[in-house]
């Protein structure tokens, strides 16, 4: 319009014709043009504000799966990664009036870990340094339970074998006890473990049991694994469940018909009853049945003496982990020398417990959408409940430290030092664009899972963890990390 008026003014200057009328025409045209531009700008701004308020990408900038931005001017960060959100890469702030942002705790999804502890008489007779095996194991287990109790990532249980039917013996031999009593497994006579899952003040419960259970009898591993399988199968729980078998010897207490496989005597007594023969095949089968039922078993061998039965301990651990090869074809593990965890001293025992618990932790958290408020109490704003409008933050153990933002990552390899990720477990591997397509289907986004580096922050490492837990904010656009 300005160019057109400029041309008319040139004509007026040249010919002097219609001077006054043409000036009026140009003025009216300029006013109409300015008004149109203002309305257009206002309309676009309103659309964008509404998109932000609704927490959607309608009319807003969206990052595509290849890292390009639709109408966005955001640049990528290092190594070709791109961090984006509909707030143009900024971490949403609760004070931002463009979206309803409310903090809400997500529920920890713990694992169940049943400690199946050998309390045979040999646990008292042998020592590591000045402490008996039983004392070393007790201290190590109490520490690992204490380390994890507050985080809530592991629900511990404790069962012992032989069962309390074999009474604790402080000194001497079990005079007057039958072989059946000395080989009584953790069994149905006691209904449930010494410390069941879900026990309040679980650390105190472990301390009480480990301090009083004492030692007695043999090593009925097979029968105890079979009992535990039956017990766990009847358990009403949605948590993943694992078994941690800690023993200082190979399985014996073989009461089956005939001579057990090989009849390798597990004691130094040449007149030992056949119940002291090695009960290996039964134990392998029991461990395999646990694994096939979904209950993976970890095995710790305590002390030097158990090394005489490395092949047996490895086989129990292999089949307990779900191995399917025949006994003659059990492969050598790639990362370590053994399938089981050998622990010759207190430090090795502690390290083994840390490795086992950390490997079992899932780092999953449940979002109970029905508990998330519909409005922000302080502002009255509607809270958008959407799979693509949530921000996850780590809660440091240090109360003075600020919350740590996490980014949605379809590929956890995008994690770097100080840059942590998460994703929806039900949509593992899906790009954020794919998540947004189903963002209103909340059944597809009820479990968020941390990427490995973020998961390490809530695990116990060197006796401490960096984060207490994680929390979430709902109603603001998600931070996204994308790998080209």
Section 371-393 average pLDDT: 87
| Model confidence pLDDT, tens digit, residues 146-194 | 988 777 789 999 999 988 878 876 555 556 677 777 888 876 565 789 9
Section 322-339 average pLDDT: 93
The pLDDT confidence band at residue 46, using thresholds 50, 70 and 90, is very low
| Model confidence pLDDT, tens digit, residues 99-158 | 566 777 777 788 999 999 999 989 988 999 899 999 999 999 999 999 887 777 899 999
| Model confidence pLDDT, tens digit, residues 51-72 | 332 333 333 322 222 333 333 3
Q: What is the pLDDT of residue 98?
A: 45
- Whether the Cβ atoms of residue 40 and residue 28 lie closer than 8 Å to each other: no
The chain-wide mean pLDDT, for the chain, equals: 77
Q: What is the pLDDT of residue 353?
A: 93
Q: What is the pLDDT of residue 18?
A: 44
Peptide bond into 162 cis (omega under 30): yes
- Whether the Cβ atoms of residue 448 and residue 106 lie closer than 8 Å to each other: yes
The pLDDT confidence band at residue 478, using thresholds 50, 70 and 90, is confident
CB-CB neighbours of 224 under 10 Å: 28
Domain extent listing, the chain: 2-54, 78-106+367-482, 108-360
According to CATH, what is the number of the domain 108-360? 3.40.50.410
The pLDDT confidence band at residue 278, using thresholds 50, 70 and 90, is confident
Section 4-16 average pLDDT: 45
- Whether the Cβ atoms of residue 317 and residue 298 lie closer than 8 Å to each other: yes
The pLDDT confidence band at residue 276, using thresholds 50, 70 and 90, is low
Q: CA-CA distance, 451 to 422, in Å (whole number)? A: 5
Q: What is the pLDDT of residue 198?
A: 93
The answer, yes or no, to whether residue 82 has pLDDT greater than 60, is no
Q: What is the pLDDT of residue 434?
A: 94
Q: What is the pLDDT of residue 254?
A: 75
pTM over 0.75: no
pLDDT over 70, % of the chain: 71
Three-state helix/strand/coil letters over the chain: CHHHHHHHHHHHHHHCCCHHHHHHHHHHHHHHHHHHHHHHHHHHHHHHHHHHHHCCCCCCCEECCCCCEECCCCCCCHHHCEEECCCCCCCCCCCCCCCCCEEEECEEECEEEEEEEECCCHHHHCEECCEEHHHHHHHHHHHHHHHHHCCCCEEEEEEEECCCCCCCCCCCCCCCCCHHHHCCCCCHHHCCCCECCCCCCHHHHHHHHHHHCCCCCCCCHHHHHHHHHHHHHCCCCCCCEEEEEEECCCCCCCCCCCCCHHHCECCCCCCCCHHHECCHHHHHHHHHHHHHCCCEEEEEEECCHHHHHHHHHHHHHHHHCCCCCCHHHCCCCCCCCCCCEEECCHHHHHHHHHHHHHHHCCCEEECCHHHCCCECCCCCCECCCCCCCEEEEEEECCCCCCCEEEEEECCHHHCECCEEEEEEHHHCCCCHHHHHHCCCCHHHCCEEEECHHHHHHHCCECCECCEEEEEEEECCCCCEEECC
The answer, yes or no, to whether residue 10 has pLDDT greater than 60, is no
Strand order in the sheet with 154-161: 154-161, 111-118, 241-247, 296-302, 341-343
């Amino acid at each position: 319009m300005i160019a057109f008026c400029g041309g008319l003014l040139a004509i007026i200057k040249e010919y002097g014709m219609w001077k006054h009328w043409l000036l009026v025409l140009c003025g009216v045209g300029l006013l109409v043009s300015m008004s149109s531009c203002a309305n257009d700008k206002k309309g676009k701004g309103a659309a964008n504000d509404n998109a932000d308020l609704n927490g959607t990408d309608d009319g807003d900038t969206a990052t595509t799966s290849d890292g390009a931005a639709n109408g966005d001017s955001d640049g990528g960060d290092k190594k070709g990664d791109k961090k984006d959100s509909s707030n143009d890469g900024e971490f949403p702030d609760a004070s931002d009036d463009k979206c309803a942002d409310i903090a809400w705790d997500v529920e920890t999804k713990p694992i169940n870990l049943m400690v199946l502890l050998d309390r045979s008489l040999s646990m008292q007779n042998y020592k590591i340094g000045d402490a008996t095996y039983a004392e070393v194991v007790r201290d190590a287990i109490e520490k690992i339970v204490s380390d994890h109790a507050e985080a809530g990532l592991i629900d511990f249980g404790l069962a012992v074998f032989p069962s309390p039917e074999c009474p604790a013996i402080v000194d001497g031999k079990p005079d007057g006890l039958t072989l059946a009593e000395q080989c009584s497994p953790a069994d149905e006579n006691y209904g449930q473990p010494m410390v069941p899952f879900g026990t309040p003040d679980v650390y105190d419960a472990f301390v009480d049991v480990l301090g009083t259970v004492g030692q007695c009898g043999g090593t009925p591993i097979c029968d105890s694994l079979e009992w535990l399988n039956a017990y766990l199968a009847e358990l009403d729980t949605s948590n993943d469940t694992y078994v941690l078998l800690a023993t200082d010897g190979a399985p014996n207490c073989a009461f089956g018909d005939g001579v057990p496989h090989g009849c390798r005597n597990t004691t130094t007594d040449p007149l030992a009853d056949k119940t002291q023969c090695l009960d290996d095949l039964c134990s392998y089968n029991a461990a395999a049945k646990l694994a096939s039922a979904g209950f993976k078993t970890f095995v710790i061998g305590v002390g030097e003496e158990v090394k005489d039965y490395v092949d047996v301990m490895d086989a129990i651990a292999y089949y307990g982990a779900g191995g399917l090869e025949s006994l003659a074809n059990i492969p050598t593990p790639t990362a370590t020398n053994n399938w089981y965890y050998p622990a010759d001293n207190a430090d090795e025992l502690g390290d083994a417990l840390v490795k086992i618990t950390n490997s079992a932790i899932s780092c999953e958290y449940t979002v109970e959408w029905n508990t998330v408020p519909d409005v922000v109490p302080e502002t009255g704003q509607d809270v958008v409940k959407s799979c693509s409008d949530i921000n996850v933050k780590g809660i440091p153990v240090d109360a003075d430290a600020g919350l740590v933002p996490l980014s949605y990552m379809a590929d956890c390899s995008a994690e770097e030092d100080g840059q942590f990720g998460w994703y929806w477990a039900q949509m593992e591997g899906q790009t954020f664009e794919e998540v947004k397509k189903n963002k209103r289907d909340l059944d597809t986004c009820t479990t968020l899972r941390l990427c490995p580096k973020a998961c390490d922050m809530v695990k116990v490492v060197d006796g401490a963890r960096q984060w207490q837990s994680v929390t979430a904010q709902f109603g603001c656009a998600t931070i996204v990390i994308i790998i080209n």
